[in-house]
Amino acid sequence: MTECQSEPPVGCTARRLWLRKVVGIAIIGLSDPSAAEEPSPSTLPPQPGDQLTVSGERSLIPADVMLNAPPLLVYPRDPLSGVVRDGSRLNQILLIKLDIKTLDDTTRVRAAEGIVAYSGICTHAACAVSEWKGETRHLLCPCHNSEYDVSGHANVVAGPAPRPLPALPLSIAGQYLIVQGAFTAKVGLKKL
C-alpha cells in the first residue's frame, strides 16, 4: 500500500513492471531486499485514526504544537495497541501550526486547528527534511538544499526536489490530533 497511494488503482508491483516492459528495459534477476520482510504494525504507513507522538510516551493534543514554532518530528501511533509506527523512515511526519487565516482552501481542509502535517522525507533523494528556516517558514533538506514552503502546499522553492512534500490530512478526535487519511502523494523519491 505504501508505495501506491498516489498511483492508479492497479497493483503496485504489476504497474511498475508494466512500465519497465513498455520502456524496453530487460529485467534480469530483479531483487528487492525490502520485499522479503513481513510487514509489521510499526512499519505500516499512517492509518486513518492513528494518533501522533514524539517519543511514544503520549499522544499529542493540538496545544502541543505552537504557532509558527519549528516543526515537530512525530510518528503515527495506533491508539488501540499503542504501537508507534517508527519502524520505517517513511513515517517521519512534520507538524507545523500556522495562522488559519493564511491557509488556502486545500490546506485548510487538511489542517486541524491550523496544524498541518507533511512528510519529513525529501522527494529528491529521501533524506530527512531536518532543517527549519523560521523567517521564511521553509522546510529545508540539508542533503541537497531543497526547500519547501509550508505556507503553500510545501511547494518546492529551491533545490533539486522534483515535487512538493506529501501532506497528511489531520483532524481531531476527542482531545487528540489524529490522522484523517493517507499521504496525498508517494513519500520519498519516485523511482524512474
Partner 1 sequence: MRSPLLILSLLLLLQGGLPLMAAEKASYPAVTDARLIAPEARNWLMYRGTYNGWGYSPLAKITTANVAKLRPAWTFSTGMTEAHQSPPIVNEGRMFITTPQNRVIALDARTGEQLWRYQRELPDELFQLHPTNRGVALYGDKVYLATVDAYLIALDATSGAVVWEQKVEDYRGGYYMTLAPLAADGKVIVGVSGGEFGTRGFIQAFDAETGKPGWKTYTIPGAGEPGNDSWPGDSWKRGGVPAWVTGSYDPITQTVYWGTGNAGQWIGTERPGDNLYSSSVLGLDVKTGKLRGYHQYHWNDSWDWDEVSAPLLVDIRRNGKVIKALVHAGRDGYLWFLERKPDAIGFIGARPYVRQNVFTSIDPMTGRPTYDETKVPRIGKRAEFCPSMWGGKDWPPEAYNPQTGLLYIPANENLCGAITGEPAKYKRGELYMGVSLAKLEVFTHPDAKDHIGELQAWDLAKGEKVWTVKFPFHNWGPILTTGGGLVFSGGTNDRNFRAFDAKTGKILWKQRTNSGVVGVPTSYEVDGVQYVAVQSGWGVDAQRKQEYLDKSFGIKTAVPQGGVLWVFALPSK
The footprint of partner 1 (CB under 8 A) covers 2-3, 13-14, 17, 20-21, 23, 25-36, 88-90, 125-128, 130-131, 133, 140, 142-145, 159-160, 187-189, 191-192
- Shortest separation between residue 183's beta carbon and partner 1, angstroms: 12
- Shortest separation between residue 108's beta carbon and partner 1, angstroms: 29
42/171 with CB nearer partner 1: 42
17/100 with CB nearer partner 1: 17
101/191 with CB nearer partner 1: 191
Please enumerate in sequence order all residues whose Cβ is within 8 A of that of 109, keeping only pairs 6 or more positions apart, or say none: 169
16/108 with CB nearer partner 1: 16
Handedness of CA 54, 97, 152, 135 (dihedral sign): negative
- Shortest separation between residue 171's beta carbon and partner 1, angstroms: 27
Hey, which bits of 79-120 come out as E strands?
93-97, 115-119
- Shortest separation between residue 158's beta carbon and partner 1, angstroms: 8
- Shortest separation between residue 111's beta carbon and partner 1, angstroms: 26
58/144 with CB nearer partner 1: 144
129/177 with CB nearer partner 1: 129
| Other CB atoms within 10 Å distance of the CB of residue 20 | 13
Please enumerate in sequence order all residues whose Cβ is within 8 A of that of 164, keeping only pairs 6 or more positions apart, or say none: 123, 148, 153, 154, 155, 156, 185
Query: Which burial class, exposed, middle or buried, applies to 94 when counting CB atoms under 10 A from its CB (0-12, 13-18, 19+)?
Result: buried
- Shortest separation between residue 100's beta carbon and partner 1, angstroms: 28
Please enumerate in sequence order all residues whose Cβ is within 8 A of that of 52, keeping only pairs 6 or more positions apart, or say none: 59, 60, 74, 75, 76, 77, 93, 95, 117, 176, 177, 178, 179
